[in-house]
Amino acid sequence: MNNANEILTNAISLLTFYLSELSDVQDSPEQQFAYGEKTAYTECLEILLKWNETDKKGLAFNVEQRYPL
């Protein structure tokens, strides 16, 4: 059974992977859905920053700088 620590660590890993895949997506009519995904994933990472262990779990960076919208 996974504990909250493992789940949050996996979520950070998955969200950063998704954002890396979407790095070239821009806010344009042609990429509207993908841009919405990028925005949602960025917001999720920003929420996870409230967890006091994020710097130890791979989220020791400024989300907005690394994944600008």
- pLDDT, tens only, 16-44: 999 999 999 999 999 999 999 999 999 99
Q: Which residue has the higher pLDDT, 38 or 50?
A: 38
**Residue 54's pLDDT is what?**
74
| Mean pLDDT to the nearest integer, 45-55 | 82
What value does the mean pLDDT of the chain take?
88
Distance of alpha carbon 63 from alpha carbon 46, whole angstroms: 7
Q: What is the pTM of this model?
A: 0.83
Q: What is the pLDDT of residue 1?
A: 58
Q: Cα-flanking dihedrals φ and ψ of residue 58, to 5°?
A: 95, 10
3-state secondary structure at position 16? helix
H-helix or E-strand spanning residue 50: none
